[in-house]
Each structure stands twice: as C-alpha cells, then as structure tokens.
Copies of this chain bind each other. A is one copy, B any other.
Amino acid sequence: MKIVYTVQALREEVKRAKKEGKSVGLVPTMGFLHEGHVSLMNAAREQTDFVVVSIFVNPTQFGPNEDLESYPRDFERDSRRCEDASVDIIFHPSVEEMYKGRYSTYVTCEGEITKVLCGASRPEHFKGVTSVVAKLFNMVAPNKAFFGQKDAQQVAVIEKMVRELDFDLEIVPCPIVREVDGLALSSRNTYLSDTERKEALVLSNALKHAEMRILDGERNAERIISEMRAIIESAPSAEIDYVEIVSAQTLESVKELSGDTLIAMAVKIGKPRLIDNLRIMI
C-alpha cells in the first residue's frame, strides 16, 4: 500500500495501474474509518483490481456552525485499517492541495433533491459534497465508486450528478453497517457520552418499528412518522431535525407508501447530529 499526498502522485499511481489493464475502484471518505468504511473497501476489493481510498475532511461540506474543527481524525489508525483491507493507495491531501489559490469552482445539484431532508438544515452541504466528489472522480477516473447507503441522500445526489454530468463510472451503494444493538456506524458516534450512546438506539428502533408496521400492512406515511417520532422523543436528549418518508429515487415526500421508499431521519443526541434510514421496496 502506498500513501500519496498530491494529485500528481495519485494520478501517476492510477495511470500505472490502468496501463496494466486494472480496473479502478474509489472509496471517498473523511477518515476515522469504521467497519462501515471497511465494508466499502471490501466491496471495492471484490469488484475492482486497484483500490483507492481518499481520506480528506472536506471543509466545503461543513456549514459555518458545524463540527469541521472537532471532526475526529486518526490517520495512523486509518492507514492500518486500509492496509488490513488490502487497499492499494491512500490519497490523503491537504486542504491547500485540494483548494488551491482563490478557489471558486463548484458542482451543484440545484433540484429539490439537495433541499429536502439534510439539505433543509444544511443548505451548502451537498454542494460541498458534489464538488469534492467531482474532483476526486476527475483525479482518479475510477470504473466504480463506493458509497455507504447510510448517507442515502448523498448517494441519490451523487447518482444524479453522475447521470447529469455524464461521468463515465458506476456508483455502488453499500448497505448500512450497524453495531449488534442496531446503532448505525458513524464517525460522529465517537462524540456520544455513555448515556447518549444508549439513547441513540431510538433511531434504529424507530426504523425497526416502521418496518414492522409496514410488514403489518400500514401504508399511511403520517401515521408511521408520528409513531416513529414518539419512539425517538422517548429519549431525553433526542432533538429531531426531521423524520420523513420519501420516494428513494427523487426524495419527494409521499403520503401513501408504495414502490421504492426511503424512511430517513436526522436526530441530535446531545451534541452530535446522527442520521439513519431504511430503504424498503413496497
């Protein structure tokens, strides 16, 4: 495994691999890697010949009052995890390497897809995501890029960007990885106190409840959401940002559940804002 810090060094490594006829898989991350990230690397390892993991805490996707400064970082541990997952290249650029000089070029999905759910309370977030991902796509030109389904809206937005800007690659969404008790893995779980860690289970519990109700035949979104909110609000430190049921493709909210459906939420548990979701075909 090699660690490279510049776009030029990255390009040289990727080009060498391509010359050898290897297909290239890209796993974009912000580091502080957990088993969710490892599952992406494993998928990349299985589906492509040469695996690039980028580790970059991207400032442009954080809002002014968000946790850019305190976002957890541990590059030593991250690089061991990548090594263990047989990654070929870690790309670990500085902010200056990514955003040189008077940087001002951004890729924006302007549709409703970036304004709902997390986009409502994080208005600039997806613009930062699509821009940095477009840059990584141009640097690596991967055959496939791997993203966690935990960030369901991110996957939908990036798939739209790939389709509309005609990137010649395939997005591979990978399933959410959870702790045994149900908590979705997230780098931000590290912020949770012991009490909050227990209370954070209301997110996955609310999703399990929704799934059960749907299996029972419930199709009314308002009723399901209201029951989910009650479960979440049973945790003293929970502060709901949103609980919504939307079409998984367009992210438009639905009244009666049918077809490819996404149940998504963002909830502050103490300091950290956690997200979780369930995608279900009805």
B-binding residues in A (CB < 8 A)? 7, 11, 99-100, 102-111, 113, 130-131, 134-135, 138-139, 141, 160-161, 163-168
A109 — which chain B residues lie within 8 A by C-beta? 104-105
Q: In chain B, what residue has the closest Cβ to A161?
A: B105
Check B102–A106 contact: CB distance below 8 A: no
Residues of B near A99 (CB, < 8 A) are 164
The answer to whether A105 touches B165, judged by C-beta atoms less than 8 angstroms apart, is yes
Most chain B C-beta atoms within 10 Å of own C-beta, residue among A99, A106, A130, A135: A106
Q: Which residues of B contact A103 (CB under 8 A)?
A: 164
Docked-complex contact A135 and B105, CB < 8 angstroms: no
The residue among A113, A131, A138, A167 with the most chain B CB atoms within 10 A of its own CB is A138
How many Å lie between the Cα of A161 and that of B160 in the bound state?
Answer: 20
Whether B105 contacts A106 by the Cβ 8 Å rule is no
- Residue ID in chain B nearest A10 by CB atoms: B166
Q: From A108, which residue of chain B is reached at the shortest CB distance?
A: B106
With contacts A7-B166, A105-B109, A164-B104 taken as known, whether A141 is within 8 angstroms of B139 at the C-beta atoms is: no
A102 to B114, CA, bound (A): 13
A105, B164: Cβ atoms closer than 8 Å: yes
Q: Of all chain B residues, which has the CB nearest A160?
A: B105
Contact between A105 and B102, CB atoms less than 8 A apart: no
CB proximity of A102 to chain B, nearest CB, Å: 6
CB-CB < 8 A to A102: which residues of B?
A: 111
Closest chain-B Cβ to A115's Cβ sits at a distance in Å of 10
**A168, B105: Cβ atoms under 8 Å?**
no
21 contacts between A and B (CB under 8 A): A7-B166, A11-B168, A102-B111, A104-B110, A104-B113, A104-B160, A104-B164, A105-B107, A105-B110, A105-B164, A107-B107, A107-B134, A107-B165, A108-B108, A135-B165, A135-B166, A138-B165, A138-B166, A138-B167, A141-B141, A141-B168
